[in-house]
Amino acid sequence: MEPDTIRRLGAELIGTFWLVLGGCGTAVLAGGFVGGTAGVALAFGLTVVTGAYALGHISGGHFNPAVTIGLVVSRRFEAKDAPLYIVAQVLGGIIAAAILLIIANGQPDFISEGNFLAANGYGEDWSPNGYSLVACLVTEIVMTFMFLIVIIGATDKRSHPVMGGLAIGLALTLIHLISIPVTNTSVNPARSIGPAVFVGGDAITQLWMFIVAPIVGAVLAGLVYPALFGDQDEA
C-alpha cells in the first residue's frame, strides 16, 4: 500500500474516531452537564469542524461512509478508493465506542444495559421519543440528503471552500437538534456501527436501517446536486 494511501486512510480512521468519541462521548458522559440535546448536537458539529480543518487536507475529511458514497455518486471522489475509506471509517467508529465503554465503566454505577453508548434505534423501545420505523427511516434519509447537499455545495469550487468545514459542522449540529429525539441521529453508518457492536441485541437487529437510510439519502443528494446546479468543473 502506498504511503499516501496509508496517510489518507489514517486520517479517515482518526477523524471518524474523533467524531464518534466526541459526539457519543458527550451524550454518554456529559449529557447532563452540557445542555442535553443542544450540547450533544454542538459536540457532533464541533468534531466535524475540528476534524475537517485538521485532517481534511489529507483525506478530504469524509469521516462517514455515506459521505464517501455520496461523493462517489456526484463524481467528486474515485469509486476505487471508496471501499478502503469505508473500512477505515467503520474501524474508527468501533475503536471510539470501545474507548468510550472503557471510560464509562470507570463509574461504579454505570449500567451497560439497554440503549447505552448513544446507540441509534427506532420504535417504542429504542427511539428516544418512541418514533415509528417509518418516521425514523424518513428522518434519516432526509437528514442525510441535506447533509450531503451542504457538503457537496460547501466544497464546490464555485463556493468558498475555506468556510466549508464550518458550514458542514453547523449543518451536522442542526441535523442533531432536529433528529436526536427521533433516532438519536445517525446520518453516518460508522457512527451507528461502533456503539451497536458493544450494545448488541436490538441495536444490531435495527442497525440495517442506520446503514441503508443514510446511504439512500447520500445517493439521492449525489444525483440531485449536479442535476440541479451543474458540475463544478463546468463553471
Residue 175: pLDDT band (50, 70, 90) is very high
CA separation for the pair 220, 215 (Å, rounded): 9
pLDDT tens string 95-111: 999 999 999 989 877 76
Averaged pLDDT score across all residues of the chain = 93
User: Any idea how long the chain is?
Assistant: 235
The predicted pLDDT at position 112 comes to 63
The CA-based angle 165-156-46, given to 5 degrees, is: 10
pLDDT exceeds 70 at position 11:
yes
Residue 163: pLDDT band (50, 70, 90) is confident
Q: How far is CA 91 from CA 10, 60, 112, in A?
A: 10, 18, 22
Neighbours of 27 (CB within 10 A): 27
Residue 83: pLDDT band (50, 70, 90) is very high
Write down the CATH number for the domain with range 3-106+114-227.
1.20.1080.10
Average pLDDT over residues 168-192: 97
DSSP helix/strand/coil, 158: coil
CA separation for the pair 36, 177 (Å, rounded): 10
The predicted pLDDT at position 157 comes to 86
pLDDT exceeds 60 at position 62:
yes
CA separation for the pair 207, 43 (Å, rounded): 23
pTM of the predicted protein model: 0.94
The predicted pLDDT at position 1 comes to 80
DSSP helix/strand/coil, 100: helix
Per-domain residue ranges of the chain:
3-106+114-227
The predicted pLDDT at position 30 comes to 84
CA separation for the pair 18, 61 (Å, rounded): 12
Residue 34: pLDDT band (50, 70, 90) is low
pLDDT exceeds 70 at position 195:
yes
DSSP helix/strand/coil, 135: helix
Q: What is the C-alpha radius of gyration for the chain, rounded to an integer number of angstroms?
A: 17
pLDDT exceeds 60 at position 113:
no
pLDDT exceeds 70 at position 233:
no
